[in-house]
Amino acid sequence: MRARFEKQLLTLHQELIEMGSLCEEIILKTFKAIEKEQLPNTKTIATLSEEIEQMEQDIESRCLKILLRQQPVAKDLRTVSSALKMVYDLKRIGTQAYEVSEIVAQGHIVKSKELHVLQSMVDSVREMVTMSIDAFVHEDEALALKVIAKDEEVDENFDTIKVLLVECFASKSLDIEHAIDLLMVSKYIERIGDHAVNIAKWVLYAITGQLDIDGGE
């Protein structure tokens, strides 16, 4: 019975890795377009978002079956329960990346000093998503804490973008569409970072039994 449970956990880990990889891919495809001054392929990105949403449903189903059939206790119960919560945040990452692609596809965002800061945000968030999944798979408490700490970089970059955009609004050469779209995109990136932090906190719960979730979007 234990061997069967271990096999189910391994499958769960593999599926979470795959879902996390899809989230990395959708972030990359969405923001690579900005970096290369191209419009994103929203159809491809929409397909990735749908795949991520389907994986959420599949993993949820697997977790519920494990809970009902194996009735795990203690740490095993926390592991499965955490996975059940984590897939929601992964799904939101996919959804928000797609929403960003739709904004970028309007073609209003142009090369600027704010865009350089945004790229730094994107790099940090992609790393946070990767680390949060790795932390779960390897039960790495230190890596999960690293994800949470790294969120400060994302928040600082978001604050910097807001300051730069305020300066833009004060100037006579303001491109309003660029400023508004960039602000919306940077807010979505900040939210993606928040979801990575939530995943890291669920990892810590699975390992330590201590829960610290803000309960935001």
Burial 129-166 (b: 16+ CB within 10 A, else e): bbbbbbbbbeeeeebbebbbebbebbeebbebbeebbe
Supply angle C-alpha 32, 38, 43, rounded to 5.
80
2-33 pLDDT per residue, tens? 788 889 888 998 999 999 999 989 988 888 87
DSSP state of 36: T
Q: What is the pLDDT of residue 114?
A: 86
Q: What is the pLDDT of residue 217?
A: 55
Q: What is the pLDDT of residue 213?
A: 67
Q: What is the pLDDT of residue 168?
A: 77
Q: What is the pLDDT of residue 121?
A: 93
Q: For the chain, which residues score pLDDT lower than 70?
A: 1, 37, 172-174, 213-217
Q: What share of the chain is helix, strand, coil (3-state, %, to 5)?
A: 85, 0, 15
Q: Which two tokens stand for residue 173?
A: 């050469």
Which residues have CB under 8 Å from 184's CB, separation 6+?
103
153-180 pLDDT per residue, tens? 999 999 999 998 888 777 766 688 888 9
How far is Cα 38 from Cα 125, in angstroms, rounded to an integer?
21
Place domain 2-208 in its CATH homologous superfamily.
Answer: Phosphate transport system protein phou homolog 2; domain 2 (1.20.58.220)
